[in-house]
Amino acid sequence: MKSSISPDEKNCEFLFRAVLKLQDLDECKAFFDDLCTVQELNTISQRIVVAKMLKDKHVYSDIVKSTGASTATISRVNRSLNYGSNGYDKIFERLDNE
């Protein structure tokens, strides 16, 4: 019987399970330092900062100036905030409750 989960889905699930095993900020930094190139990490971190700024009602021009993100990236992140899986909202709520 053939699995209905693609190799890419299995890889992503493995990654997500691995991230959930990280116990503190130092472990997280070490893991992502090993996992990602500097550019990949900068891209990912830029997106979450853009999302937070959008959530806090900053305008595109301020976000571009502050983060260096392109308007296309800001639009993509905005689409995720409005029509995505609410992942950003869950993280921001938990960060705000710290």
The answer for residues whose C-beta is within 8 angstroms of residue 14's C-beta and 6 or more apart is none
pLDDT profile of the chain (98 residues), mean per 10? 76 96 98 97 98 98 98 97 96 94
Domains parsed from the chain with CATH numbers? 7-96 (1.10.1270.10)
Per-residue model confidence (pLDDT) at position 3: 59
Task: Classify residue 90 by burial, with Cβ atoms within 10 Å: 0-12, 13-18, 19+.
Answer: exposed
Structure tokens at 73: 């990236």
For residues 13 and 18, give the distance between their C-alpha atoms in angstroms, rounded to a whole number: 9
Query: φ, ψ for residue 36 (rounded to 5)?
Result: -115, 150
